[in-house]
Amino acid sequence: MMRALTIAWKDFRHVYRDLAGLAMMFVAPLLMAAALGAAFGSGDNFSVTAVKTVVVDQDAGAGAGTPAAGATLTAALTDPGMTDLLAVTRLESSETARAAVDEGDAAVAVIIPPGLSAAVMGSASPGTGSAAAEVEIYKDPALNVGPSIVAAVVESATQSLNGARAAATAAARLAMSSSVTEPAVLDEVASEAAGVFARAARAEAPVILQERNPLIEGVDTEKRPNVASQVLVGMMLFFMLFGAATPARSILDEHRNGTLPRLFTTPTRRSVILGGKYISVFLVVLIQAVVLLVAGRFLLGADWGEPGPVAVLTLVSALVAASLGLVTVSFAKTPGQAGAVSSAVFVFLGLISGNFAGTASIGGAFAVVRRFSPVGWLMEGWSNVLFGGSWGNIALQSGAALAFTLVCFGIATFLFRRRYA
C-alpha cells in the first residue's frame, strides 16, 4: 500500500506543478460559471434584461363610453407586473418608432393603428362590417427573445379584445332576440357587454397558474439556486473529466519515457503500480471538486444543499471522472492519441449530459439520452440537491453513476493489464 501511495503522491505532485493544467482544472470552470452568472444575473434564477419597447397608440376609440382597444393593448404592455421584462416608452408617430428600432434605440416597436377600436366594435355590432385592423410589431431582426415576449403580450391582449368582442356580439344578438332593433341601443348593449368582459378579465382570475420547481418529487421547497451555481456544476463535472485525464495519461507518458518499464523491473507488483496511478487520478479530481465547490460557495454565493448528499455526490463525481479518464486513456497507445480521444469523448459526454445547459430542467428525448452517460446521472443528482433534494433524491442517480464507474474501471484495468502483462 505504501508503494501505491508513493506512486500516487509522485503523480499528484506532477499534476500540481503544472500551472497550465491547474488553470484548466480550477480557473476555467470558475471563470465560465462567473461569466454566465454575470450574464444571466446573480439573483434567484435566470433573469433577462428588460426589452426596450416603444408603443405608438393611434387608436382614438370607437365612440363615447366605449373602451379604446389601443389603450387596452398599451395597458397590457405597461402593466407594473411586466416592468422586469419590458421597458416601454410611448411615442407619437409610427415613423419615429420604426426609426428607434432601426437605430438600435429600441428592440421592438408596437404600432397600434387608428381604427383598432372601430374594427373591434364594428365587427361586434350585428349587421355592421369593418375591415380587420393590423397591429404592427416592428422588431430588430437580430433579436429573438425580446420581440417574442412583446408579441406574446400583444397576442394575449388581443385575445382579451377578441373575448370582449365576442361578449359584445353575444349581448347584441340576445337583445335582438328580445325584439330590440334600435341600432343605438344595440351599440350600447354591445359596448356595455364588452366593458363588463374587460373588467372581469382585469379582476382576479379564477384559474391561477402556479409555477413549481422541477424534478423533485416530495420536496416541498421553494429553493432556487443561483445561476452561477447551476452553471458551475456542469462546468465542474466537465473539467473534472479533463482533470482526470491528465494523471491517467501519465501511464502512457511513463511508458514512453521508460519509467513504467523500469518500475516493472522493481519488486513492486504491477497491480500496485496501476493502483497507485488510480489513486492519484482519484485524488486529483477529488481535490479539484472540493476546491471548486468551496470556491463556488465563497466566490459565487452558491448554496449547494445538504452537506451529506453533497459529500456523497462529490465522491461519486470524483470516481466517475477518474474512471472515465482512465478508460479513455486505456484505449490509446500514445499520450497524443489519448489527448485526442479523451477530448472528443468528454465533449460528447458533456453535450449529451447537459453540462453546458446548467442544471436547468431537461425533458423529452434529451432526458432519456443523458441517462446513457454517467455524467448525465450526476447532473441529475446535482440538480436535485441544488433544488433542495436530499438522500432519496440522489440515491438512484449515485447508484447508476457508480455502476457506470465500475464498468469503466473494469475495462481500463483489463486493457492496461493486457497491454503491460
Partner 1 sequence: MEGIVVQGLRKQFDPPRGPVAADDLSFDIREGEIFSLLGPNGAGKTTTISMLSCLLRPDVGDARVGGFSVTREPGKVKELIGVVPQDVALYEDLTGRENLLFWGRMYGLKGPRLTQRVDEVLELIGLVDRQKDRLGKYSGGMKRRVNIGAALLHNPRFLYLDEPTVGIDPQSRRSILDGVKDFKAAGVTVLYTTHYMEEAQELSDRIGILDKGKMIALGTKDELVHLVGEHTRIEVTLDREAQSLAAQWRDLPRVLDVSEPEDGRLWLLAEDANTLMPRLFEGARAAGARITEINLAEPNLETVFLHLTGRALRD
Which chain residues interact with partner 1 by CB under 8 A? Answer: 2-3, 6, 10, 13-14, 17, 257-259, 261-269
Q: 14 vs 173, which CB is nearer to partner 1? A: 14
- Cell for 415? 486493457
- Cell for 376? 448525465
Q: 257 vs 361, which CB is nearer to partner 1? A: 257
Alpha-carbon span 119 to 280, nearest angstrom: 75
- Cell for 295? 470556491
Q: 14 vs 297, which CB is nearer to partner 1? A: 14
Candidates 344, 308, 327, 310; CA nearest to 404 is 327
Q: 14 vs 224, which CB is nearer to partner 1? A: 14
Nearest distance, CB of residue 293 and partner 1, angstroms? 28
Contact 58, 94 (CB under 8 A): yes
Q: 263 vs 349, which CB is nearer to partner 1? A: 263
Nearest distance, CB of residue 267 and partner 1, angstroms? 4
Nearest distance, CB of residue 281 and partner 1, angstroms? 17
Nearest distance, CB of residue 257 and partner 1, angstroms? 7
Nearest distance, CB of residue 15 and partner 1, angstroms? 10
Q: 179 vs 266, which CB is nearer to partner 1? A: 266
Q: 5 vs 99, which CB is nearer to partner 1? A: 5
Residue 89: strand pairing partners: 54
Nearest distance, CB of residue 421 and partner 1, angstroms? 8
Nearest distance, CB of residue 266 and partner 1, angstroms? 4
Nearest distance, CB of residue 264 and partner 1, angstroms? 5
Q: 199 vs 417, which CB is nearer to partner 1? A: 417
Contact 91, 149 (CB under 8 A): no
- Cell for 363? 425533458
